[in-house]
């Protein structure tokens, strides 16, 4: 199996090198071919210098285009290079590379098209659970997605996820730009794809600061619910 880690990075000078180091540590013993591509999303710090100096595989977007565009760039690369599985993996050090085998297992056994890494599954909760405000918002989104799609996804905003060849093709063609994680879940459910949550471990970000404030969390929740309703009303694309 050929597996690609898609690593979006915007101003991650404090964490990108340790993130890549964690991947390099498991590559030789990993049971499948494991490659990675950093998408430098127009960083204005020294992220690109670090990538270049350490000969890390990357591409640079000339301007900051947002997480959706950065991730879709990775899916296009995965499609063009015929990867079997593409995994979204944050550049800020939050995702535990040791959870990767568990995340992709349902794709390898063909039990799912998209595997979503969850911090909240009862059988194995992540060490890091995020803030109370965000957990409340995630629970509301989870309830809303189940109400409109019939499928419960507990960790609706998780960016640690893996897609098979069919999902790679879908996301290379169309990937939400404003609220990518929950919107893409609803999009795939609407098109009949199978989504499975898998327990993964996550950490607090290793550097930088999050742009999501408590006020923005509330606004995000309202906006994404509206976006999902609009998505469900749109005529399904060919």
From first to last of its 238 residues, the chain has per-residue pLDDT tens of 999 999 999 999 999 999 999 999 999 999 999 999 999 999 999 999 999 999 999 999 999 999 999 999 999 999 999 999 999 999 999 999 999 999 999 999 999 999 999 988 865 555 555 656 666 667 777 777 887 778 889 898 899 999 999 999 999 999 988 888 988 998 899 899 999 999 999 998 665 445 444 446 566 666 766 666 666 665 544 4
Phi, psi of 44 (to 5 degrees): -110, 5
Supply the angle between the helices 180-190 and 165-173 in degrees, to the nearest 10: 120
- C-beta atoms surrounding 222 within 10 Å: 11
Asked if residue 76 lies in contact with residue 115, where contact means CB atoms within 8 angstroms, the answer is no
CA-angle at 213, arms to 207 and 214, nearest 5°: 135
CA distance 230 to 238: 18
Supply the angle between the helices 165-173 and 67-80 in degrees, to the nearest 10: 130
pTM of the complete model? 0.84
Question: Edge to edge, what strands does the sheet with 2-9 contain?
Answer: 58-61, 33-41, 2-9, 85-88, 161-163, 114-118, 195-199
Tokens describing residue 174: 């169309």
Phi, psi of 14 (to 5 degrees): -80, -20
Contacts 24+ apart (CB under 8 A), 63-66: 64/10, 65/41, 66/41, 66/177, 66/178
């Amino acid at each position: 199996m050929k597996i690609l880690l898609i690593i979006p990075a915007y101003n991650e000078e404090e964490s990108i090198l340790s993130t890549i180091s964690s991947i390099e540590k498991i590559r030789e013993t990993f049971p499948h071919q494991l490659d990675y591509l950093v998408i430098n999303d127009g960083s204005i710090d020294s992220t690109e210098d670090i990538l270049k100096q350490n000969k890390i595989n990357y591409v640079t977007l000339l301007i900051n285009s947002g997480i959706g565009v950065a991730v879709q760039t990775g899916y296009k690369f995965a499609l063009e290079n015929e990867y079997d599985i593409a995994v979204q993996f944050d550049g800020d050090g939050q995702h535990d590379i040791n959870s990767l085998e568990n995340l992709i297992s349902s794709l390898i056994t063909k039990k799912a098209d998209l595997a979503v890494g969850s911090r909240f599954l009862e059988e194995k909760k992540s060490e890091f659970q995020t803030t109370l405000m965000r957990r409340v918002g995630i629970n509301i989104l989870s309830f809303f997605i189940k109400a409109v799609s019939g499928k419960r996804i507990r960790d609706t905003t998780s960016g640690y996820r893996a897609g098979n060849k069919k999902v790679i093709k879908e996301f290379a063609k169309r990937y939400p730009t404003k609220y990518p994680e929950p919107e893409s879940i609803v999009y795939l459910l609407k098109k009949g794809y199978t989504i499975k949550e898998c327990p993964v471990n996550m950490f607090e970000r290793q550097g930088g600061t999050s742009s999501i404030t408590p006020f923005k969390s509330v606004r995000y929740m309202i906006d994404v619910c509206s976006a999902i309703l609009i998505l469900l009303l749109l005529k399904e694309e060919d």
